[in-house]
Structure 1
Amino acid sequence: MRKLASLLAVLMLFNALAFAQQREVSGSIKSEEGTNIPFASVTVKGTATGVSADANGKFSIQAAPNATLVISAVGYEPKEVSARSTTITVSLKAAGNLQEVVVTALGISKQKKSIGYQISSVSPEEFNKVRATDISSALAGKVPGVQLLGTPSSNFGEGELRLRGISGLSNQSPIYVVDGTIVNLSAINLDDVESISVLKGPVASALYGVRAASGAIEVKLKKGSKRKPTVTVNSLTEFGNVALLPKYQNEYGGGYSQEWETFTYNPSIHPASWAAFNGQKLVEYGADESWGPRMDGTLVREWFSWYPGDDFGKETPFSPHPNNVKDFYTTSKRYNNNVSFEGGGENSSFRFNYNNRYQELPFPNTKRQENLFAFRGSLNITPKLTVSTNVNYSVIDQLGDRSEGYTNDGQNISQNFNQWFQRQLDIKKLRDYKNPAGGYKTWNIRSPIDTRAAYWDNMYYQVYESFRRTWQNRIFGDINISYKILPFLSFSTIARASVLNYGGDGRIASYGLEIPSYNINNGTFQEYNFENRLEFNKRFGNFGVRQLVGSNFMTQARKYNSASTVGGLSVPGLYSITASIDRPSVGNTWLDYRLNSLYTSGSYDYKNFLFLDVTLRNDWSSTLLPGRKNNFLYPSVASSFVFTDILETSAKFKEILSFGKLRAAFGRTGTAPDPYILNPTYGLGTPYGSNPTMSVPTSVYDVNLKPALTKEYEIGTELKFLKNRIGLDFAWYRRDGTDQIVNLSVTNSSGASSVYLNAGLIRSEGFDLSLDIAAVKTRDFSWDVQFNVSKNKSKVVDLDTAKGLRNLNLGTASFGPSVNARVGEKWGAIIGTRPLIDEKTGLPVITSAGNWVRQTNQILGYSLPDYMGGAVTTIRYKNISFTGTFTFQKGGMFYSTTRLWNLYSGLSAETVGNNDKGNPLRDDPADGGGIRLDGVLADGTPKTVYVEAQTYYSNMYGLHTPFLSKSSYFKMAEAKLNYTIKANSLIKGVNDINVSLICRNPWLISAPAKKWGIDPSELENGNSYYEGGQLPMVRSYGINLTFGF
């Protein structure tokens, strides 16, 4: 007993001495280039003791002198160092692809080298190099195979994305998945994002089943960390101005002819005081074109001289105002302020994020206010049981987003300027739009005694009196309970919710050209998902097995209510449904949808160099007929082979080829019919006065209707050279979209107007290539270049030739051609009218009067581009860095309604100048003027004729080729100059301060449509084949400040 007591005393003394030797070890963690590595993990080997470094890579931990510290960070190889010294500096080596982890479908994290398909992952350091405005612009030019449609530089919307072309009969967009919840773009706060993974098609997104036939954008949000609390602040202030407009002529003013109209006094209709105005020259006020007299300073009565006020009765010089359009636009504003607070302890972590955004467009009376809140927390209740939650809430209020496209109600101000306007108008005079005598002033008056609008209201009246307001609030997130049954077996259950409430109202103001009206609407969207997962992860010698099985039960409900006035307002200026003169139009709709799913995912490897992934998902959709086949199975198989892990080569060879991988994959997904197509409902209406009726739907369906399917094959390689200084990633793919669900018109004798059926085979084929180069890499200086290029060809292989269907009209541009799916042609064939060309001479066939002979139903081009891509270059010298982002697109065509009417209305600079005789184009051909037109007559006889300019351009109406442009462009999309201040040396506890000067749209380097005042990367509403009234491109400058403590 005495010996045992002595032994215990010795052990206790030893433990006390060991504990006494514990002391604080502090240090910093850097890369090989000397830059700080933030938030690295530092643990004492063989213990549970661990901390995280701060944003500057600094840490402190309790450790004994004989302890070993294990340092690890994402993107770097882990390293072990001795704790003998109390102050240490650790340098980590970049891991390249060896340790890189990416997020795949369902939020599953995997080593990138194990994945058998191309996946592009973008980190905050990459997409926030120039504080991106939304997730679409964050990916533009940085990821191969991604096409950005409609960059929102002058509206409130977010750009749409298209991945690897089109393999269906309509535009296709990926889903956006935020930590497992599918949301729309406006719900994502980039300041709260940890990484973005682009899953480009069925091969990568098959685990999402029916909802991800066009790919998925997987967004992983930042989580709290188990370290002392930290605060990070990110603040952006940005201002912009319109940077690209059409080139206007400034020689001729408003009117339909160059002859002056004069005022003729008529005592029966004019006041006696107006007798003094007799004989004064008048502008042709009712004309919304600029084919009028020369603007040579002649004294005339402008529109404003007929309204009460100081200008009444005055003559003013008829002179150009070259900047009248530009002067209307205001300075756009954008403020984006973000604050995050995070921390945690040994068993818990949390993160709270608040984001405030404010934006004004370059139009008067427009603004958007957003507030976004986010909380994520995790608690280890026991070593095996963990509970985590993720809650995101946002509120958005918006006023006055401007319309795009061709409209007749004046709501698209840019369309008015570029298509129907007068070049002598003074915008400053239009700002005072209220008439002291009542109503509103306009430039387009009908006559001196009738100052109502002829065709167009005053644009200031439009923006301040006729506008729309919208609001929305959204909450989404999840609760996750996971239990580790065994070290290699875990179970989790997840409940997810996404709830959106939205609404708005709009008005067409009284006293204008249009019938005054008011409308209001509101709606809700609710989606709930309940998911269970069982995961097995274990190695058996040289073999690794990771098997996941799960189920998901989704319910979706939508409701929408609307009401609008009919026949005008009973009280002018009273914007209320109760003010409707006739019975208001009221509507409400609702939709319920369910999708039940089972899935499994297996990942297998041999010696960590040969990998195989297999996934299966089966969906049961409520939109398919019960009792028939209402479920469908989606498989995917992917394999990768890291051949450099088994090659026995010299050290010198491994320096040249650092990493090499081959991969191959196959996947299939589908698209279910929309709700109620196979379960039609009665239509409600009032076709007989105010008597309500119910009608049988006129669209029927094929009883054998099935989901549309998309299958994809992919092969590729990933290579790293010169110690990972050069990286290449190449993928070739072929994607087939079959059994597309289309709604075809049928003859009335069938008893229906249209039928839903399966038809078509659309084949999309191409490649994606990315190249990363660390050109220079030293402690004080570095130069990195990232380049990517993609080629895609989408072809219509078949529609339903057995039933005679060889062409399907997918849409028609305003006053323009149609875009079509035609068998044997590339998707998006633009079909319209062009001049007939004489084969022998190559000249157009014309009439003796100088008009073109036309060919209709001709393929004029194709809407989709052949190539697209981008480049990002970053140059750093010590604490200063510059980043430039470039994007490009080659091929494809679009139709411009702006150019059509810009010429037709005499606004364009092309409509003035001199002809080959040296005489003005707008002079009468009899006086040596006119536009020369060379051609041949129908019998082949050469013919040259001079056509009066106004006639020449009006004759173009109905032709489509003069208004088609290539969609190609090459632009510098973003630029940033950053300076890092080492604030910790000045203020203890404050992390690095980053001050950045940024510019968006700094330089449209090249684009055929640039001369028309159009940036093809911003085509309206995500269209790729036409623009009806393009909003102008905005160039903005800003300053961004980031710091933490």
Structure 2
Amino acid sequence: MNKRFTLICSCFILFAFSGFAQQVVRGKVSDAGNGAGIPGASVLVKGSTLGTSTQPDGTYSITLPANATTLVVKYLGFLTQEVPVNNRTLININLVPDETSLTEVVVTALGIKRSEKSIGYSTQTVKGDNLTMTKEQNVLGSLAGKVAGVQVVGSSGASMGGTQKIKIRGVNSLSGSSSPLIVVDGTPISDANFSTDSGNGVDLGNISQDINPEDIESLNVLKGAAASALYGIRGQNGVIMITTRKGSKGVKKVDVRFNSGFSIEKVSNFLPLQNIYGVGNNQTFQTLANGDKYINGNDESWGPKMDGTPVRMYYSFYPQDAEYGKLTPFVPQPNNIRDFYETGKNINNSLSVTGGNENSSYRLSYNNAYINGTIPNTWLKRNNLSLSSDLKLTDKLTVGVNANYANNNGQRPEQGYQGSFSGATQWFQRNIDINRLRNYQYADGTIMNWNVNPNTSTGMITSANNKPSDWNNPFFDAYRSLNNDDRDRLFGDVSLNYQVLPELKLSAFVRSDRYTQNISHKEAFGGRLDDAYSVGKYQGIDNNYEFLGQYNKQFGDISLTGNLGANLYTEKFTQTFQATVGGLSSPDFYSMAASVDRPESTSYLRRKEVRSAYAMASVGYKDTYFLDASLRNDNSSALPKNNNSYWYYSVSGSFVFSQLLKWEPLSFGKLRASYALAGSDLKPYQVNPYYSPGSVYKNTDLNINTLLVPDKLNNPNIKPAFANSFEIGTDLKFLNNRLGFEFTYYQQKNKNQIINLSVSGASGYTTNVVNAGMIQNQGIEFSLSGTPIRSKMFSWDATLNFNRNKSIIKELYQDLSVYQLDINTYSSVNMYLNATVNKSFGSLVGQAYARDSKSGKILLGSDNLPLIENNHDFGSVLPEFTGGFLNSFKIGKFDISAMIDFQSGGKFFSWTKMLATKSGQAAETAVMNDRGANVRDPLTSNGGVKLNGIYGPGTKIAGVDVSGQEFNGYVDARSYFRNSIGTKVYEEWLYNASYIKLREVSVGYNFTEGFMKKTPFKSAKIAVVARNPAMIWQKAPKGLDPSELSTGSASISWLEKGEFQTVRSYGINLNLTF
């Protein structure tokens, strides 16, 4: 009995105390959207410091204390959930994405994802859908106005994917490029540009155009050195981080998406031209021996009035022409520039397949684009194929692949001075019927030219006088003198990821970017130049071998993140170029074997290696206080042995004061600050002296190969350049994230610049590689975003970006005060782009009007025409501020969006306007003056251009000193426009680059679910889009577009040298999901 009682009591006691025993809970944390397990999610016991992290498949196990009642589950980008235990041992949790958080998770350097609140520096993210709204030909061009602090200056759509120059927070280099590093899924890729000379060249654009915009999930811009320090020498100018779309693990399913776009492209924004006077140097017709008036091959329009007088046109000089010997009325052709261009077509189709299961995910996509250009016989074909996949080999080991293949094949136009008709606005005849030039070749092979003169005795053009003096028939150029290029490219990575512990992951990557670019040019027989052929082949291979260890652990209120890595970067670039010399032995036989003289042949090899080690740590306390630090060492083969190892570091912190303030209208508030040291090296082979192969010296007995001493003196003591960067800012969100504001003040000093300094020719060299100079960038940037209206049927989202930056030259080399960055020369008159100490970067210096020091009036000479002041400083070409304004509306099933970007200040120099005026084509050369006569009428008939000025010192007229006296009268129009200001007063052709431009417009309709049930599709959207539909306002004259200046120095665009007109695109896009 006693034994039974004892046993029963013991059971009761054990049962009673079981309520105080520990309990083990297991389960899985999944994404409520797709059912995929979430690795690394925090599972915490509310009210205690106990917690754990989920495994790679989302599973977890945690031992609870006896008093535990609730689990708290957290993961970046998802709403935190509190889950009651209720004595359960199996608890599965589905986390819901935090839709109200605008940028909760940010992709930072090395592809590491971090909470927005923990970052102590400025970044800004653009969603992929905002980059593909209007199918921009080069995806980088879609960034214009969408990121504060980022300036994009592009090129005309006529160039088909032409150059996009991007600067982040100003200019960082005196002699090199300020372009940012582009990283796709963690792989740095080349953004090389193989465009030829802008004076008579082809704009092939940046090779970043190989990125398929339809693959982009998001694009994040790392602006300051603190953000990009972990990329070392390649990240000093900022980093553009591109994350592509991926498959998702979880429930086994397959999604198929098809996007199709078609648009037409129209050339617009033509320079206003006069339609009163035709070809010639004066207003008198020339005559043939038989008395017929005729039109010569002059390329100016200072001739007689186009009043219908019967004349012999250029085509009437060819015996092969049906109108040979006939007279034609001399009349204007108002559309002879516009009518050369065609309606372009852009067809873009994209197909993607996405899927996954519990152990794998994948996404396969294909994109095909075909552009039929606005310039006759120009086109571009693109094909992109990409694969993104990862596979869980074991519970801890995952292998991943990102592979992107791109092929570009194009036939492109020449632009610039003497390019494919872009020079026609500069030098041409206002009387030429452009359509008459289309059939440029007669049946016997003779080329029809306009820039030729007949034999005045016979009134005939034969093979002896059919060579153009300055300009070919533009259709001959378009169809016979061809520029072709093709490029194959493969970039991506293979990775292995091993989850050692829930909080520790080790990763290894092999990343590669390799391309082969072929470029050829054919100069056909029958033009102004000798027939010729050239080919170039350019191959680049960039490899990165990378190891990265990542540690993430939550210790109660303290979060700790650590990253330790190493990288080996290798670069190899080869170039071969061949060109015929002396013409071709047989017309249209395009081969080096056809070269009349020995063909030119050159080759080049460049190798570089950078070894790096880096570390980064981040500590957070109570999700309120965060402190980051990073350290990197680079060892570059391009630098001398004693200076090739250098360190970068960064320190940043953030304080999320909204965690403490608890003010209801404030959803999120953060203060942040950072300081960093970044740097850069130089291209290889600038340290030690070397010899270059020379020409072959021919002796009577043998040929001797020669070697040349380069004219640049290399520097064995060169050091890396460094940039000290500081920034401070705040991020605020109000009203449940419906209103957001980001503000940053920054200052960056780019020191120890590496430049080629001019030296005395007596030294045997022309330049010397030295460390010299400092550029200070200082500015502010802000982004204001919000949803002013949100309802079931209507919503309005808006984002305003703004940046104001000053780039000041603080110092140069020793006592040097001016360093020449670039030069532009026409007719022996120069315009210089200089870096001047204590002035803004990019000062334009050239000829200006000489002015009276008191009144500011123009000084005149004895001919009543303006006097010139040499070497006048016109100020910086850089803008005062830039920005953009994006609006998106949702009205029922309709989506409407519009993107505006703007710029205030800056300058650019226009060849087109200058030469259109000099040649007599510009509208102002034939306007009416205030006396009721055309300015081209004789002065005795009240013609002439009115001038008001003061005679300069020492000016005498008819022996009388008129110095200081005022002139208020009229001067001959041709003398003024052509001979005086035409190409002498560069001040006249310097324009303010301010503008407000409507970049993108889209109106889309989402088909209803009821309608889709009747189709095989899950969803469908159709949209009408427009790209560059309007220049709302600009300070520069009509016909010039300050947002499309692809020529200039390596860092900035300041020169308009005959770019193609703006192209406006209108189209329709269709998106289907299966």
On whether the aligned pair clears a TM of 0.5, the verdict is: yes
1:1024 and 2:1035 are equivalent in the alignment: no
Q: Distance in 2 between matches of 1:568 and 1:214?
A: 44
Matching residue within 370, 375, 391 for 2:382? 370
What corresponds to 2:748 in structure 1? 735
Match of 2:100, SS state, is coil
Q: Distance in 1 between matches of 2:765 and 2:504?
A: 57
Percent of aligned pairs with the same amino acid: 36
1:431 and 2:442 are equivalent in the alignment: no
| Deviation of the 1:534 alpha carbon | 1.7
What is the aligned-residue RMSD (CA, Å)? 2.6
**Change over 3 Å in CA distance of 1:739–1:466 after alignment to 2:** same
| Deviation of the 1:309 alpha carbon | 2.2
Q: Distance in 1 between matches of 2:622 and 2:636?
A: 40
Matching residue within 214, 217, 228 for 2:240? 217
What corresponds to 1:166 in structure 2? 171
Matching residue within 982, 992, 1004 for 2:1019? 992
What corresponds to 2:101 in structure 1? 96
1:382 and 2:394 are equivalent in the alignment: yes
Q: Distance in 1 between matches of 2:529 and 2:72?
A: 73
1:286 and 2:297 are equivalent in the alignment: yes
What corresponds to 1:441 in structure 2? 448
Match of 1:976, SS state, is strand
Match of 2:858, SS state, is coil
Q: Distance in 1 between matches of 2:372 and 2:690?
A: 42
Q: Distance in 2 between matches of 1:914 and 1:126?
A: 48
| Deviation of the 1:987 alpha carbon | 3.5
Matching residue within 465, 471, 492 for 2:507? 492
Gaps of 5+ in 2: 1-30, 44-52, 59-69, 85-93, 192-207, 455-459, 953-962
Match of 1:229, SS state, is strand
Q: Distance in 2 between matches of 1:838 and 1:412?
A: 43
8 Å Cα contact 2:384-2:407 kept in structure 1: yes
| Deviation of the 1:749 alpha carbon | 2.7
What corresponds to 2:429 in structure 1? 422
**Change over 3 Å in CA distance of 1:357–1:107 after alignment to 2:** same
What corresponds to 2:1041 in structure 1? 1015
Q: Distance in 1 between matches of 2:940 and 2:582?
A: 51
Q: Distance in 1 between matches of 2:652 and 2:804?
A: 22
The Cα offsets for residues 325-376 of structure 1, whole Å up to 9 and x where unpaired, read as 1000011111111110011110111110111111122101111111111111
> Counterpart of 2:183 in structure 1: which amino acid?
V
| Deviation of the 1:384 alpha carbon | 0.7
> Counterpart of 1:891 in structure 2: which amino acid?
G
The Cα offsets for residues 285-313 of structure 1, whole Å up to 9 and x where unpaired, read as 22100001101111110001112121111
8 Å Cα contact 2:748-2:776 kept in structure 1: yes
Matching residue within 336, 343, 351 for 1:339? 351
> Counterpart of 1:933 in structure 2: which amino acid?
L
What corresponds to 1:694 in structure 2? 707
What corresponds to 1:522 in structure 2? 537
Q: Distance in 2 between matches of 1:187 and 1:685?
A: 37
What corresponds to 1:18 in structure 2? none
**Change over 3 Å in CA distance of 1:917–1:613 after alignment to 2:** same
Match of 1:917, SS state, is coil
| Deviation of the 1:117 alpha carbon | 0.7
**Change over 3 Å in CA distance of 1:914–1:115 after alignment to 2:** same
Matching residue within 208, 215, 218 for 1:195? 218
> Counterpart of 2:836 in structure 1: which amino acid?
R
> Counterpart of 2:1026 in structure 1: which amino acid?
C
Match of 1:583, SS state, is strand
| Deviation of the 1:734 alpha carbon | 0.4
Q: Distance in 1 between matches of 2:929 and 2:505?
A: 81
Mapping 1:217-296, distance limit 5 Å: 217-226=240-249, 227=251, 228-264=253-289, 278-283=290-295, 285-296=296-307
Q: Distance in 2 between matches of 1:484 and 1:402?
A: 53
| Deviation of the 1:509 alpha carbon | 0.6
What corresponds to 1:17 in structure 2? none
The normalised TM-score by structure 2 is 0.86
1:617 and 2:632 are equivalent in the alignment: yes
| Deviation of the 1:643 alpha carbon | 0.4
The Cα offsets for residues 849-903 of structure 1, whole Å up to 9 and x where unpaired, read as 1221211111112100011000000111110121000000000111101111010
1:1043 and 2:1072 are equivalent in the alignment: yes
Match of 2:859, SS state, is coil
Mapping 1:897-916, distance limit 5 Å: 897-916=911-930
What corresponds to 1:683 in structure 2? 692
What corresponds to 1:774 in structure 2? 787
Match of 2:1053, SS state, is coil
What corresponds to 2:10 in structure 1? none
Match of 1:841, SS state, is coil
**Change over 3 Å in CA distance of 1:638–1:619 after alignment to 2:** same
Match of 1:977, SS state, is strand
What corresponds to 1:9 in structure 2? none
Mapping 1:3-152, distance limit 5 Å: 77=79, 94-96=99-101, 100-152=104-156
Matching residue within 943, 948, 952 for 2:972? 948
8 Å Cα contact 2:608-2:684 kept in structure 1: yes
What corresponds to 1:807 in structure 2? 818
| Deviation of the 1:988 alpha carbon | 6.3
1:669 and 2:678 are equivalent in the alignment: yes
Match of 1:77, SS state, is coil
What corresponds to 2:667 in structure 1? 658
8 Å Cα contact 2:951-2:965 kept in structure 1: yes
Aligned residues: 963
**Change over 3 Å in CA distance of 1:947–1:499 after alignment to 2:** same
Match of 1:950, SS state, is helix
8 Å Cα contact 1:849-1:945 kept in structure 2: no
The normalised TM-score by structure 1 is 0.89
8 Å Cα contact 1:814-1:1028 kept in structure 2: no
**Change over 3 Å in CA distance of 1:494–1:43 after alignment to 2:** closer
Matching residue within 704, 714, 726 for 1:713? 726
Match of 2:273, SS state, is coil
> Counterpart of 2:964 in structure 1: which amino acid?
G
Match of 2:214, SS state, is helix
8 Å Cα contact 1:446-1:454 kept in structure 2: no
What corresponds to 1:507 in structure 2? 522
What corresponds to 2:872 in structure 1? 858
Gaps of 5+ in 1: 1-27, 30-37, 53-67, 83-88, 265-277
| Deviation of the 1:402 alpha carbon | 2.0
8 Å Cα contact 1:787-1:872 kept in structure 2: yes
1:1005 and 2:1032 are equivalent in the alignment: yes
**Change over 3 Å in CA distance of 1:129–1:807 after alignment to 2:** same
What corresponds to 1:472 in structure 2? 487
Q: Distance in 1 between matches of 2:639 and 2:434?
A: 57
**Change over 3 Å in CA distance of 1:837–1:43 after alignment to 2:** closer
1:301 and 2:327 are equivalent in the alignment: no
> Counterpart of 2:1047 in structure 1: which amino acid?
N
1:583 and 2:598 are equivalent in the alignment: yes
Q: Distance in 2 between matches of 1:318 and 1:72?
A: 81
**Change over 3 Å in CA distance of 1:221–1:504 after alignment to 2:** same
Segment drifting more, 875-884 vs 121-130:
121-130
The Cα offsets for residues 782-807 of structure 1, whole Å up to 9 and x where unpaired, read as 0111101100000111102x3x3110
> Counterpart of 2:944 in structure 1: which amino acid?
G
> Counterpart of 2:839 in structure 1: which amino acid?
E
Segment drifting more, 505-514 vs 699-708:
699-708
Match of 2:913, SS state, is helix
Q: Distance in 2 between matches of 1:983 and 1:310?
A: 65
What corresponds to 2:28 in structure 1? none
